[in-house]
Amino acid sequence: MVLGNYKTAVSARAADPEILKYSQDGGIVTQLFAYALEEGIIDGAIVAGPGDEPWKPEPVVATTKEELLAARGTRYTISPNMMLIKEATRSYGLDKVGIVGTPCQMQAVRKAQLYPMAMRKVPDKIALAIGIFCMENFPYQGLETIVEDHCKTKMESAVKMDIGKGKFSVYTERGALSQIPLAATHKYEQPGCHVCLDYVANLADVSTGSVGSPDGWSTVFVRTKKGEDVWTKAINAGYFETKDIADVKPGLDLVTKLATGKIDKNKKTLEERATMGVGKGLRNPYI
């Protein structure tokens, strides 16, 4: 199943306009964490907060709505959110930890729960893991090259970056939009992404991304009992607007298409790596 196990799929966006203002898509991540924080479902969440260089995220443990708001939006570069997973339960003393991350980070969360070799007190403290769809990520210098060299935009003047419809787009504070074909960015992708077999964060409690839903809305998969519990409560409390995923364009067909494309392409990479054409080969992390 390319879309993973899920209980429900919907198109949704946050009800709070304050959240939507700077969120990447429908503000699902920020709104759901904010709700969970308010209700005591989580004591805090590991998010990609602002770092000391423009667009360079720094994992932080957010324990207030303000900190969640400061971490809104997508930084298309590595944010090692798992770095704080143990710290969150120790220094921060959280009993119920929320974490957002790419599909590979969700894999790391679940491995830490099932094989908690160096993860004392982590397994039963993961209260809400939100996954974000991901086709690939870029090292910071890669992103800088794309934005500054290819898009001719200073990193610090960018207010939003977005990948969609085959393009990499950068919006500036003065309202300019710079776009390049996504194909031009491929060579800057981090190599570890080329063996990745998950597009839609199959192992998250709730996963979300823009693909499938109209602009400003997000596609949401509710996957686990934990996820379903908090999502249902948040919906009932009026924290989200939703639309039936069957009624929106382009809908799940596009999500399925992209997920399949990613998996097929990366499976091929794994096969090529197995021999590298010389019968020696590189490691396959999945066997």
Ligand X SMILES: Cc1cc2nc3c(=O)[nH]c(=O)nc-3n(C[C@H](O)[C@H](O)[C@H](O)COP(=O)(O)OP(=O)(O)OC[C@H]3O[C@@H](n4cnc5c(N)ncnc54)[C@H](O)[C@@H]3O)c2cc1C
Of the candidates 11, 30, 107, 185, which one interacts with ligand X according to CB under 6 A? 30
Under the criterion CB under 6 A, does residue 102 sit at the interface with ligand X? Answer: yes
For ligand SF4, the closer of residues 16 and 202 by Cβ is 202
Q: What residues from 183 to 202 belong to the interface with ligand SF4 (CB under 6 A)? A: 192-193, 196
The nearest distance, CB 42 to other proteins, in angstroms, is: 10
The nearest distance, CB 12 to ligand X, in angstroms, is: 9
For other proteins, the closer of residues 140 and 199 by Cβ is 140
Count of residues that interact with other proteins, criterion CB under 8 A:
58
- Neighbouring-strand partners of residue 128: 98
For ligand X, the closer of residues 4 and 27 by Cβ is 27
As a residue count, the chain comes to: 287
The nearest distance, CB 33 to ligand SF4, in angstroms, is: 20
The nearest distance, CB 192 to other proteins, in angstroms, is: 4
SS (H, E, C) the chain: CCCCCCCEEEEEEECCHHHHHHCCCCCHHHHHHHHHHHCCCCCEEEEEEECCCCCCEEEEEECCHHHHHHCCCCCCECCCHHHHHHHHHCCCCCCCEEEEECHHHHHHHHHHHHCCCCCCCCHHHEEEEEEECCCCCECHHHHHHHHHHHCCCCHHHEEEEEEECCEEEEEECCCCEEEEEHHHHHHHCCHHHHHCCCCCCCCCCEEEECCCCCCCCEEEEECCHHHHHHHHHHHHCCCEEEEEHHHCCCCHHHHHHHHHHHHHHHHHHHHHHHHCCCCCCCCCCCC
* Contact window for ligand X (CB under 6 A) among 121-129, 165-173, 205-213, 241-249: 205-213
Of the candidates 193, 248, 254, 274, which one interacts with other proteins according to CB under 8 A? 193
The nearest distance, CB 182 to ligand X, in angstroms, is: 10
57-62 vs 97-101, strand pairing mode: unpaired
Count of residues that interact with ligand SF4, criterion CB under 6 A:
9
* Contact window for other proteins (CB under 8 A) among 61-69, 133-141, 177-185, 235-243: 133-141
Of the candidates 141, 152, 164, 246, which one interacts with other proteins according to CB under 8 A? 141
The nearest distance, CB 192 to ligand SF4, in angstroms, is: 5
For ligand X, the closer of residues 74 and 153 by Cβ is 74
Of the candidates 112, 128, 200, 211, which one interacts with other proteins according to CB under 8 A? 112
Sign of the CA dihedral 266, 268, 270, 276? negative
**Contacts with ligand X, residue ranges (CB under 6 A):** 23-30, 47-48, 57, 71-77, 79, 81, 100-102, 132-135, 137, 163, 208-211, 218
